[in-house]
Amino acid sequence: MIIIEPYRGKSVTEERVEIVERKGTGHPDFICDSIMEAVSVALCGEYLRECGVILHHNIDKGLLVAGRVLKRYGGGKMLQPMELIIGDRATFDVPGKTLPITEIAIDAARRWIRQHLRFLDPDNDITYRVVLAPGSDELTDIFSRPGTVRCANDTSAAVGYYPLSSTENAVLELERHLNSSQFKKEFPQAGEDIKVMGLRKGTALDLTVAMPLISRFVASEKDYFSQKDAIHSSMQHFIEQSQLFKKTLLHYNSLDQRGRGLGGIYLSLTGTSAEDADSGQVGRGNRVNGLISLNRPMGTEAAAGKNPLSHVGKIYNLLSHKIAREIYQNIGGIKEVYVLLLSRIGSPIDRPRMAAARILPEKGQKVRDMTGDVEEIIKRELADINTFCQELGRGEYPVC
């Protein structure tokens, strides 16, 4: 069933208040989502090499348990390593062979850490506990049933939208800039654990940023605040370049307080608060478009780590955003579009129980004039869902 209807609300850009959050690369929740997705992609590759097909797995349960560190000006040391717990289900045995699933999972985790966290040693600063087990007979059987398209392993709903608002873009681009190689080259003392919270009131944007400084680069409290001021100025210059808001305020490390020594500044030994302050969990971070937008409809599924062939909690979450983008970019006269997808367990994933597009047209445009083109895009995307699933299995779409 495909439903095309007008969106009855107003554009998010017309709302007086808009709140948008992004958790950055070194945030414990982002780390969990990213590593579990990396494990899934690694398993997909192994299954394809060994069997020619992706087999049942769901690596969507994960926890990063915070460790303990001793920080001081100029450095510090790890007192108790973090612990990464990797769950939940995987296929261990293929005809004539048992696959090294535990080793693949740990290798994928270590590889992601080396690529994204400059000051975290994946061999010594983290321990790994893999609690993967074979799946149930019924869910595993999905992967051996006849047909070119897998059936859904769950009854699940997802929603996507497009385009991003100016506030969403500002929050997303600021975090990506702060964690870019260019910024880290200029400010190597800036850690990867970044959180950006954006509040738009009318045409004014208020941004609150948390980002630690790496302790080895900080000689004293005075040095910390001097470096913080330089980073603040650089951030302010970056956000003012967009000229999208009449007024922009930037608050950086707001908990800091001069005169309190190490208790009044945000230092990190490794660049992530998981070293001693905050544990992480799959599904608590960004939605699949990289944002937590409180003015938008959001699903509750954690997409990271789920298998890309039958788990609609992953497939439909990403596909709904993709379809919304295709509709907006290929059909003129649309201000915003929202796409809802609903599966029914056991039904082929290319035949959702419902696919709905809610269109907010530009002034003078009529949704009824777009209905045929919108429906054609939805049908085309669903018909090509196997290609999309293979792309998911190769990690071509970020999930956080």
Nearest to 38 by CA among 67, 22, 62, 66: 62
Written as tens digits, the pLDDT of the chain (400 aa) is 899 999 998 999 999 999 999 999 999 999 999 999 999 999 999 999 998 999 999 999 999 999 999 999 999 999 999 999 999 999 998 888 899 999 999 999 999 999 999 999 999 999 999 999 998 877 787 887 877 888 989 999 999 999 999 999 999 999 999 999 999 999 999 999 999 999 999 999 999 999 999 999 999 999 999 999 999 999 999 998 877 899 999 999 999 999 999 999 999 999 999 999 999 999 999 999 999 999 999 988 899 999 999 999 999 999 999 999 999 999 999 999 999 999 999 999 999 999 999 999 999 999 999 999 999 999 999 999 999 999 999 999 999 9
Record: fold of 167-281: GMP Synthetase; Chain A, domain 3 (3.30.300)
C-alpha to C-alpha distances, 230 to 118, 169, 225, 240, 270, nearest whole angstrom: 21, 24, 9, 16, 21
d(C-alpha 334, C-alpha 329), whole Å: 9
Nearest to 312 by CA among 147, 63, 142: 142
What region, left, alpha or beta, does residue 117 occupy, with left being phi > 0 and alpha being psi -120 to 50 degrees? Answer: beta
Q: Where are the domains of the chain?
A: 2-11+154-164+297-393, 28-136, 167-281
d(C-alpha 173, C-alpha 176), whole Å: 5
Can you give the pLDDT at residue 173? 97
2-11+154-164+297-393 and 167-281, same CATH topology: yes
Q: What number does CATH give the domain 2-11+154-164+297-393?
A: 3.30.300.280
- In three-state secondary structure terms, 23 is strand
Q: Are 120 and 126 in contact (CB under 8 A)?
A: yes
The encoded tokens of residue 149 equal 């398209």
Top-tier CATH class for 28-136 = alpha beta
Can you give the pLDDT at residue 146? 77
Q: CB under 8 Å to 392, separation ≥6 — which residues?
A: 308, 314, 315, 318
